[in-house]
Amino acid sequence: MKMKKATALMMTAAIGAAMFTVPVFAEEVETEPANTVSGDSAAEDAFVIWGWNEDIKKILDGPFAEAYPDLYKRIVFVNTGGSDTYQTKVDAILEDPSGELYPDLMGLEVDYVLKYVNGDFLSSAGDLGITADDYANQYGYSLDLGTDYDGNVKALFWQATPGCIQIRADLAEKYLGTTDQAKLSEMFSSWDNILDTARKVNEASGGTAKLFSGYDEMFRIFSNSRANGWYDENDTIQVDENMTKYMEMAKICYEEELTYNTQQWKDDWYANMAGDGETSNAAVAYCGCPWFTYWCLGDAWKANTILVQAPEQFYWGGTGLAATAGCADTDMAAAILKFFTCETDPMVSINALNSDFVNNKEAVQKIADAGTTCEYIYGEQDMISFYLPMADGIDAKNATAEDQDINSLWTTQVDAYARGEKDLDTAVADFKSSVHDTFSYLNVE
C-alpha cells in the first residue's frame, strides 16, 4: 500500500498541475513567471540547485561562498519566481535526468515535502554519507518531515519554525490597554480568552480594528497541534477534534464579525497589517513564526511586535533541502546539506545573515546566549530566546504527503460551515467525500 500510495500521489499531483496550467481562455490566467538562472548551466561540472525565491541563494552567495569558494563557483541556481508554480516546474524537469537544468539539489516546503520524500526522485541522506550523528542536533519534528515510509531520511531542514501569535504593540495599547507581554499572554492563553479579546478589540475600535484579519489566522495552530492526521493506519479518512473546534471558532468569528474574513496572503490581508485602526482597518495580531516576523511583517510592525504563545504549541512552514536520485555529485550535495542543516558554526552564520531560527539545538543555544536583536521586536524581548523552549515540543508525526491538497479541501468546507451554508455533519461528510475523490486510495467509512 505504501508504494501504491506514493505512486498515486505523484500521479494526482501531476494531473492537478496539468489541469491548472491548461486554460480555456489564455487571458483569464496569470502569466507563469519565468525562471531566473544564475551560473553557467552548460559547464561540465555545473551543480544545479532549485528554489522558488532567493532564500537559498542568499545563503549560498554569503557564508557558503566564503567557506567553499571552489564549490560555490560550480553552482547554478534556478529561481522559479514563486512557490505557486514551483511544483509544476520541478515535476516536469524531474522526469528527465539528462536535462541541463535537472536539479542536483532542490528546496522543498513543509506542506508538500512528503510528496517527494515518499516518491522515487530523491536520494537518502545515508546515500550521501550523511549520518545520524551529523544531524543529531536537529529538532525531531523536522526529521519526521523529511523521512519516508521506510524510515529513510531524504530531506534536511535548515530552519526550525515554532509558531506563536505576533501582536502589534501600538494597537494592543490602544484597544487592549497594555503592551505588557505577561498580560497579553493571558489574553491569548485559551480559545475562550481569544474570543473575549477579539470582542474587546471589536467593541473598543467600533470595528475599525479586529484581533485577527481573518479566522483562517487560527488554522495552523489547530492543524499543526492535532493528535491525529487526515487518515489513519488503514487509510481511512478522519477528522481530528481540533479541526472541528476550528470550524466552530471560524463560525463564531464570522457570525459575530470578529474578523474581516480575509484570506492569508491576499491584498486585503496585507492591507490590514498596515492599517492604523482608525482611518483604515487594522489587525492587532497575526499567527506567526520566526520567518514570518522578518519576512512578512511590514513597516508598521518595526520595533512594534510582541510575541506570545498560542493556546497550543504548533509549527508553521520551513524549507527542506534534498538531493535528487540523479544528483551528479553526491559529495558536493553532502557538503551543502551539512553546511545548511548540520554544522553548528555555519548555522550560526545563517542566523546572522537572515535571522532564521536555525534547525540546530547547539547553534540556537549559542545564538541565544550571545543575545540577538531584531528590528521588528518591541522592547527588550529576545526573539530567539522566546522560541528556544518551544521548538523541542513540536510534533509533526501526523503530517502526510497529501496535506497541502487536503488542507485546501478542508478550507472549502470550513468556509461553507462558517457562512451557514452547511451544518457541521454535512460539511464534514462533504470533506471526506472530496478527499476520497481526490485520493481514491483514501477511504470513507
Domain boundaries, the chain: 2-161+316-377, 164-314+398-438
Averaged pLDDT for residues 3-19? 49
Q: CB neighbours of 201 closer than 8 A, spacing ≥ 6?
A: 175, 176, 209, 210, 211, 284
Q: Which of residues 31 and 264 earns the better pLDDT score? A: 264
How far apart CA 163 and CA 312 sit, in angstroms, is: 9
Contact between residue 390 and residue 368 where contact means Cβ atoms under 8 Å apart: no
Enter the pTM of the model. Answer: 0.90
> Quick check: 25 pLDDT over 70?
no
Q: How confident is the model at residue 8 (pLDDT cuts 50, 70, 90)?
A: low
For residues 139 and 358, give the distance between their C-alpha atoms in angstroms, rounded to a whole number.
10
Residues 6+ apart with CB under 8 A from 108: 116, 117, 155, 319, 320, 321, 322
pLDDT tens digits for range 115-140:
999 999 999 999 999 999 999 999 99
pLDDT level of residue 373 (50, 70, 90 thresholds): confident
Is the pLDDT confidence value at 15 over 50? no
Mean pLDDT of the chain: 92
Within its chain, how far is the Cα of 199 from the centroid?
29
The predicted structure's pLDDT at residue 9:
60
The architecture of the domain spanning 164-314+398-438 is 3-Layer(aba) Sandwich (3.40)
User: What is the rounded radius of gyration, in angstroms, for the C-alpha atoms of the chain?
Assistant: 22
For residue 31, what pLDDT is reported? 79
Do 164-314+398-438 and 2-161+316-377 fall under one CATH topology?
Answer: yes
More confident residue, 313 or 29: 313
Cβ atoms of 167 and 366 within 8 Å: the answer is no
Res 5: pLDDT: 60
Q: Answer whether residue 16 shows pLDDT above 90.
A: no
Burial of 416 (0-12, 13-18, 19+ CB in 10 A): middle
What is the pLDDT averaged over residues 152-169?
A: 97
Beta bridge partners of 149: none
| Band of residue 372 on the pLDDT scale cut at 50, 70, 90 | confident
**Superfamily for domain range 2-161+316-377:** Periplasmic binding protein-like II (3.40.190.10)
Residue among 276, 287, 300, 285 at smallest CA distance from 208: 276
395-419 average pLDDT score: 95
What φ, ψ does residue 18 adopt, rounded to 5°?
Answer: -65, -40
